[in-house]
Amino acid sequence: MKTYAVKEGDIQREWHLVDARGRVLGEMATEVAGLLMGKNKVKFTRHLDVGDNVVVINAAHVKVTGNKKQDKYYYRHSGYPGGFKAESLEKVLETRPQRVIEHAVRGMLPRNKLGESMLGKLRVYAGEEHPHGAQLKPKTGEQA
């Protein structure tokens, strides 16, 4: 009996459509990260990118629990003196809601080149409209 090893030619990618309206940010990001890694597939292999493409719509309507809108901050630094910036979750959701979901999903993916290639298959849109309607008939539903 030999162990089966997945090859690049065996990987079949699908498209998933996830609606973020009314969904809790962390729970939805966990589902999206699993789809990007390919953990929903029988041929899941940790060292290969076997995941699917994911389109997230209605990012502006994602739900957060507790006081996170006021208490959670996103930090960045330009590298120059005085270049420290801090933005609250509430402000980021108003200006760039896509970044909230991208940031949450990025934190759940591997921190290497494989994780970067997985993140490249994520597309996030603030509203209902997206240009991926023709890609292999995206799947709809909660558990895509």
**What percent of the chain has pLDDT above 70?**
94
Report yes or no on 57 lying in a domain.
yes
Report yes or no on 76 lying in a domain.
no
Q: What is the mean pLDDT of residues 104-126?
A: 97
Q: What is the band of 144 on the pLDDT scale with cuts at 50, 70, 90?
A: very low
Q: Whole-prediction pTM value?
A: 0.88
What's the pLDDT tens digit per position in 53-91? Answer: 999 999 999 999 999 999 999 999 999 999 999 999 999
Report yes or no on 24 lying in a domain.
yes
Cβ–Cβ under 8 Å, residues 125 and 98: yes
For 109, the domain range is 13-64+94-124
CA 17 from centroid of its chain's CA atoms: 11
Domain count within the chain: 1
User: What is the reported pLDDT for 11?
Assistant: 92
Report yes or no on 4 lying in a domain.
no
* CATH number, domain containing residue 60: 3.90.1180.10
Q: What is the band of 138 on the pLDDT scale with cuts at 50, 70, 90?
A: low
| Segment (H or E) for 22 | none
Report yes or no on 73 lying in a domain.
no
Q: What is the CA radius of gyration of the chain?
A: 17
Report yes or no on 54 lying in a domain.
yes
